[in-house]
Amino acid sequence: DAGVIQSPRHEVTEMGQEVTLRCKPISGHDYLFWYRQTMMRGLELLIYFNNNVPIDDSGMPEDRFSAKMPNASFSTLKIQPSEPRDSAVYFCASSLATGQSILGRGNEQFFGPGTRLTVL
Amino acid sequence: GNSVTQMEGPVTLSEEAFLTINCTYTATGYPSLFWYVQYPGEGLQLLLKATKADDKGSNKGFEATYRKETTSFHLEKGSVQVSDSAVYFCALGTQGGSEKLVFGKGTKLTVNP
């Protein structure tokens, strides 16, 4: 399996521009998570989906941020308009809901390599 | 609510030194506990996990034991290598399915030769 795929890996844009980050989760996974990582705030959960439906978007910083998951193999995180304080590394992660007794697992999330966003 | 408190870094050690990174948690119920590792320029990856009290997770020479009485999940390694230099995150999750994880702030480890 290719793992979680994110694109682009790096994005440099100017303040006010629209930015779209993309994620392809691991095939068969039914949860998808978007995180943001900065030195100041650490790792923050922005939003997560279950079976393509947004479950909790309480971490989305403001209305400039939006996320969609049109199908099980694709999600986007959009920032419009972008601001310099949005500069961060954005991670996508996916996981599969299974009973712990079935596979002996607990809630493991698989992370993508991240998108480093710089807003000038 | 659920939370994780992780020792602040950075931590700098010499090769072959003993490593401990402390992690304590606050949670309702019986959460699963995880250690994730992030190497430079990469995403987080699972290092080890434990799903119930007294379980010991282990991987690549790292160990952590789920201590319910002290609500702790400290990460240890007997002899670190330069290649262990990374950021380590303690996390907890809810039992019974994949939902969001609560992460600690991360501890940066640097191992010098």
- Using CA atoms, how far apart are residues A48 and A86, in angstroms rounded to an integer? 19
Mutate to test the interface with A, among B89, B90, B101 (most CBs of A within 10 A): B101
Provide, as residue numbers in chain A, all residues whose Cβ is less than 8 Å from the Cβ of B96. Answer: 99-100
* pLDDT band at A103; cut points 50, 70, 90: very low
Provide, as residue numbers in chain B, all residues whose Cβ is less than 8 Å from the Cβ of A108. Answer: 34, 46, 49, 98
Of B46, B89, B96, the CB nearest to A108: B46
Contacts of residue A117, defined as CB under 8 A and 6 or more positions apart, other chains included, come to: A11, A13, A19, A21, A79, A82, A86, A87, A88, A89, A90
Selected residue with higher pLDDT from B96 and B31: B31
Check CB contact under 8 Å for A45 and B96: no
The whole-number average pLDDT for the span A13-21 is 97
The answer, for B98 touching chain A at a CB cutoff of 8 Å, is yes
Q: What is the pLDDT of residues B19-68, one digit of tens each?
A: 999 999 998 777 889 999 999 989 999 999 998 889 999 999 999 999 99
Say if residues B38 and B89 touch (Cβ distance below 8 Å). yes
The whole-number average pLDDT for the span A45-49 is 94
pLDDT at B99: 72
Which residue in this structure is represented by tokens 């304590």?
B24
* pLDDT band at A49; cut points 50, 70, 90: very high
Check CB contact under 8 Å for B97 and A99: yes
Mean pLDDT of chain B, nearest integer = 91
Q: Of chain B residues 33-52, which have a CB less than 8 A from chain A?
A: 34, 42-46, 49, 51
- Using CA atoms, how far apart are residues B15 and B6, in angstroms rounded to an integer? 23
Looking at the DSSP assignment, which residues form a beta bridge with residue B78?
Answer: none
Q: What is the pLDDT of residues B66-82, one digit of tens each?
A: 999 999 999 999 999 99
HEC string of A83-96? CHHHCEEEEEEEEC
pLDDT at B89: 96
Selected residue with higher pLDDT from A84 and B2: A84
